[in-house]
A and B are shown apart, each in its own frame.
Chain A
Amino acid sequence: MNDIGKSITKRKQLKQKLKIFQEERPFNKAQKMDVPKGLYEKCPTCERTVNKKTNIINDYICTHCGNHFRMRAIDRINYIVDSETFIEKGIGYITLNPLFQNGYEEKIQEYKKNTHLDEAYIYGYGKINNKPCVIGVMDSYFLMGSMGSVVGEKVTKTFEYAIYKRLPVIIFCASGGARMQEGIFSLMQMAKTSAAVARHSKMGLLYISVLTHPTTGGVNASFASLGDIILAEPNALIGFAGPRVIEQTIKQKLPEGFQRSEFLLEKGFIDQVVHRKDLKTVLAKLLAFHGGYN
């Protein structure tokens, strides 16, 4: 067999491996990831106890006050994307420890095990009410969804894949900011992702950014704020500096509702606050308005 033949066989084998890897993942089944440890949990706004199972069935919305609980990335995909259409892209990135921080690698391994994710961000091709798009979701359960080298790279790849396929991008942001453990490399991801948004935008393609609780720090100061359309979930914490840092700096208590979605809507930095139940319809409508490219 000649060299080309060999390489093709090798490639086929690798593709086969990749397929197995994808099938192991629970995206295509209607399966919720957040297996409850205790039966009940406390709602942070109305302070009433909520049955976790009811909560999961109700898409992590409090049955009493409508508070939006944090949602895991896989649940989010199952909820937003049409069933059996999501194909994950950008698999196989490995988080390294550039600054040789003690215990960082172990921490990552632990989070990987607990969240069933490679990193705090997943993206892929999917359809929302039969309209194709590229969807990226950050998971705030993975080290507070912080943006390190791998997350930055995958966000950049999201836009590059969308440029290649001429597709709109939807990103659900949930992040505490840039990842401290990777130091300056995390900071430079801000520039990298912003440049990727610029390139995608230059092609005349749509980018919708959905801000969920919480979106702060380096993520807020890069791709999260650059959407053509910026939506937000109710009562999500959105800001550049965290409330604790601001309180320490100005040495006084912050007013009620400061840095929440409704506050930002009033100040004019987001287009609309959308309830989780309406999110899919709104996104589908917006995609339909910009459907000329598909």
Chain B
Amino acid sequence: MNILEKEKKLIALEKQIDSLGNANSVKKLKAEIDNFKQNEMTKLSAWDRVLLARHQARPKAKEFINYLSPNFIELHGDRLYRDDPSIIGGIGTIDGNVFTIIAQQKGATTEDNIKRNFAMPHPEGYRKALRLMQQAEKFKRPILTLIDTPGAYPGIGAEERGQGQAIAQNLMEMSKLTVPIITVIIGEGGSGGALAIGFANKMLMLENAIFSILSPEGYASILWKDVTKAPQAAEAMKLTAYDLKDFQIIDEIIKEPPGGAHFDKEKVFIDTKVAILDTYNKLKKLTGIELYYQRNTKTRNYGFLQRFNYDNLGGIKNDIHKDFRDR
């Protein structure tokens, strides 16, 4: 039984409460529901988390922004080609601190989703993000990015306008910034399309969000030539928040209520805000160069490998960073 079926069962149980008149049996049923929530809804497999991350009712980036920063002003356009609605960017205050906020926005309805291209950005979206980040650098504003995308859009137009180049440029320019960058993965984090705005000093992640190199379906179809094996692929890919915390890819997990973020949005918003402000208060103490250095060292250490380093054996350290660090 996956999480969506469990959720249906829970709703069915909750409906039964209204039909029951007897106070005693209502009490009994409520206890049962609580029990079900605590025991069944918290036991999640990797595939359950994938389903939750893609859940239609899951809070979208705009809802987060509305809560975090009620006075948010949206800024449009990349100044080169057009405005990409799948990435929203702008300026707002979070608890009195001015932030540049950039987010990937999924639509709430089908119509909205088509307008937003299912949160799959084109190159102009990434160039807009880059423009806003460089603006933030100019005015020494911290940057907050919210990731929620299945991936960068694979289409003719996107290729013609240099999807790969836009992502690469983003990664390169983000590594040079001297303002704090905080990233929160709120839903799906799909491949390079997610990473292109996620080169951060601190990366936070909601408990049921996912972050992976490609979709479990794609993984199953490429490696095992069988799309129906996606649940096993999700398990094998280690894409949940807990796995990524173990790998030290992300820094912090933001807890969600049992059954996913859509069961208690308010609480998730509050927790996210607290986590963001905590992280910001820590990063605020660092100077620009320290922030630059922290981000680059953090990224430098990504990877899982081993080396027989002949040069470093025998006590003489061959520090190739030294020259660069002294500057």
Task: Using CB atoms and an 8 Å cutoff, list the residues of chain A in contact with chain B.
Answer: 4, 7-8, 10-11, 14-15, 17-18, 91-96, 98-99, 101, 149-150, 152-153, 156, 160-161, 163-164, 178, 180-192, 194-195, 197-199, 201-203, 217-218, 220-226, 239-242, 245-246, 249-250, 254, 258-259, 267, 269
Contact of A258 (CB < 8 Å), options: B156, B211, B212, B222: B156
* Set of chain B residues within 8 Å of A189, measured between Cβ atoms: 302-303
Contact of A194 (CB < 8 Å), options: B161, B168, B238, B323: B168
Closest to B167 in A: A221
Asked if B168 contacts A184 (CB within 8 A), the reply is no
* Set of chain A residues within 8 Å of B296, measured between Cβ atoms: 195, 199
Q: Is B275 an interface residue (CB 8 A)?
A: no
Q: Is B158 an interface residue (CB 8 A)?
A: yes
Closest to A166 in B: B323
Asked if B249 contacts A190 (CB within 8 A), the reply is no
Contact of A245 (CB < 8 Å), options: B154, B175, B244, B316: B154
Contact of B302 (CB < 8 Å), options: A18, A180, A192, A220: A192
* Set of chain B residues within 8 Å of A186, measured between Cβ atoms: 213
Rounded to whole Å, the gap between the CB of B194 and the closest CB of chain A is: 9
The answer to whether A188 and B302 touch (CB under 8 A), given A194-B175, A254-B156, A259-B159, is: yes
Asked if B213 contacts A180 (CB within 8 A), the reply is yes
Q: List B residues 66-103 near A (Cβ within 8 Å).
A: none
Asked if A99 contacts B237 (CB within 8 A), the reply is yes
* Set of chain A residues within 8 Å of B236, measured between Cβ atoms: 99, 101
Rounded to whole Å, the gap between the CB of A37 and the closest CB of chain B is: 26
Asked if A188 contacts B314 (CB within 8 A), the reply is no
Contact of A192 (CB < 8 Å), options: B168, B192, B303, B324: B303
Rounded to whole Å, the gap between the CB of B250 and the closest CB of chain A is: 10
Q: Which of A18, A186, A218 has the most CB of B within 10 A?
A: A218
Q: Is B134 an interface residue (CB 8 A)?
A: no
Asked if B159 contacts A258 (CB within 8 A), the reply is yes
Rounded to whole Å, the gap between the CB of A190 and the closest CB of chain B is: 6
* Set of chain A residues within 8 Å of B159, measured between Cβ atoms: 239-241, 246, 258-259
Q: Is B195 an interface residue (CB 8 A)?
A: yes
Closest to A94 in B: B306
The answer to whether A92 and B199 touch (CB under 8 A), given A184-B244, A220-B164, is: no
Rounded to whole Å, the gap between the CB of A92 and the closest CB of chain B is: 4
* Set of chain A residues within 8 Å of B244, measured between Cβ atoms: 184
Apart from A199-B324, A220-B164, 16 more pairs, CB < 8 Å: A7-B314, A10-B314, A11-B314, A11-B316, A93-B306, A156-B300, A182-B304, A185-B302, A188-B249, A191-B175, A192-B302, A201-B172, A221-B165, A221-B196, A240-B163, A249-B154
Q: Is B321 an interface residue (CB 8 A)?
A: yes
Asked if A149 contacts B303 (CB within 8 A), the reply is yes
Closest to A195 in B: B175
Q: List B residues 293-324 near A (Cβ within 8 Å).
A: 296, 299-300, 302-310, 313-316, 320-321, 323-324
Q: Is B65 an interface residue (CB 8 A)?
A: no
Closest to A13 in B: B314
User: What 0/1 pattern do residues 182 to 207 of B give for CB contact below 8 A with A?
Assistant: 00000000011001100100000000
* Set of chain A residues within 8 Å of B165, measured between Cβ atoms: 221, 225, 269
CA gap between A239 and B163 in the complex, in Å: 8
CA gap between A3 and B89 in the complex, in Å: 60
Rounded to whole Å, the gap between the CB of B213 and the closest CB of chain A is: 5
